[in-house]
Amino acid sequence: MSASTIIVIVVVLVVVAAAAAVTSLLIRRKGAERTLLGAEYDRLAGEVGPRKAQAEFAKRRQRVDGLGLRPLSDERRAAYTGQWEVAQEQFIDNPAQSVRAAAAMITSVTADRGYDVTDNEQLLTDLSVYHGRYLDGYRRARKTTGRAGQATTEDLRQALLSYRVLFFDLLETSGPADQEPGRAPAQVAGQRPWQQVTQGRHWKTRRQEDDADSVAASRP
């Protein structure tokens, strides 16, 4: 086999390997983006088709990126976390008021981040860009909040959980760069992840957990 033939084969192999790497990257990126958009993309794609849905989300992203979203300072994150603790603890005695307070905090933190909160439907559209995977739960929570006086305690609990995941996603994300497909959002320093509270432990407030810890510590 001549040297020129070997060189051609090597070049072809390099090109094929590079093409495979790019294809794999695009597939992973597309999958990560679908995860980021969540059911919001699936819903829109089912209505208008995948191509139009992609174009629509590109337009939405352009609008949202033009809003000049800003990260929260550590002080603001800590303040919001403290407010959430208060609202969550209120759930035991007054579930409806707790859920209303949670809904108000979603509005507050989105406004603080730079979202336009004057139009609820536009806000939902804007949130779909970087927080779409939580929008179905958020919509249901808002409906429950609207009838909080007649909703069951379990419905209110589910609404509070839906508010919670969106709230902390908004809180823990520094900016659009943190929400690029495949990149994990920034975490608030020293904050207990919300998953530890809501997964496998039914529903406990921080106060209940602290009381339980105190009881356990006092045992011989």
Same domain, 103 and 212: yes
Same domain, 91 and 25: no
Residue 174: the pLDDT is 52
In a domain, 46, yes or no: no
- Cα–Cα distance for residue pair 47/218, rounded to 1 Å: 59
By the 8 A CB rule, do 188 and 83 touch? Answer: no
In a domain, 100, yes or no: yes
**Structural domain span for residue 176:** 74-218
The number of distinct structural domains making up the chain is 2
- Cα–Cα distance for residue pair 129/41, rounded to 1 Å: 9
Take residue 200 and report the two structure tokens written for it.
């496998």
Same domain, 198 and 117: yes
| Maximum pairwise Cα distance, the chain | 85
Same domain, 18 and 103: no
- Return phi, psi of residue 138, to 5°: -65, -40
Same domain, 159 and 111: yes
In a domain, 171, yes or no: yes
Same domain, 110 and 172: yes
Identify the weakest region by mean pLDDT among 8-22, 40-54, 131-145: 8-22
Instruction: Tally Cβ neighbours within 10 Å of residue 42.
Output: 15
In a domain, 192, yes or no: yes
Q: For the purposes of burial, counting CB atoms within 10 Å of the CB of 175, is it exposed (0-12), middle (13-18) or buried (19 or more)? A: middle
By the 8 A CB rule, do 205 and 92 touch? Answer: yes
Same domain, 130 and 200: yes
Identify the weakest region by mean pLDDT among 35-39, 41-45, 152-156, 160-164: 35-39
By the 8 A CB rule, do 187 and 74 touch? Answer: no
Residues sharing a CB contact under 8 Å with residue 53, sequence separation 6 or more, in sequence order: 41, 44, 45, 47
pLDDT tens digit string along 115-157?
A: 999 999 999 999 999 999 899 999 999 999 999 889 999 999 9
In a domain, 151, yes or no: yes
pLDDT tens digit string along 146-200?
A: 998 899 999 999 999 999 999 999 998 655 545 544 344 444 444 444 333 333 3
| Residue type for position 24 | S
Identify the weakest region by mean pLDDT among 11-20, 40-49, 168-177: 11-20
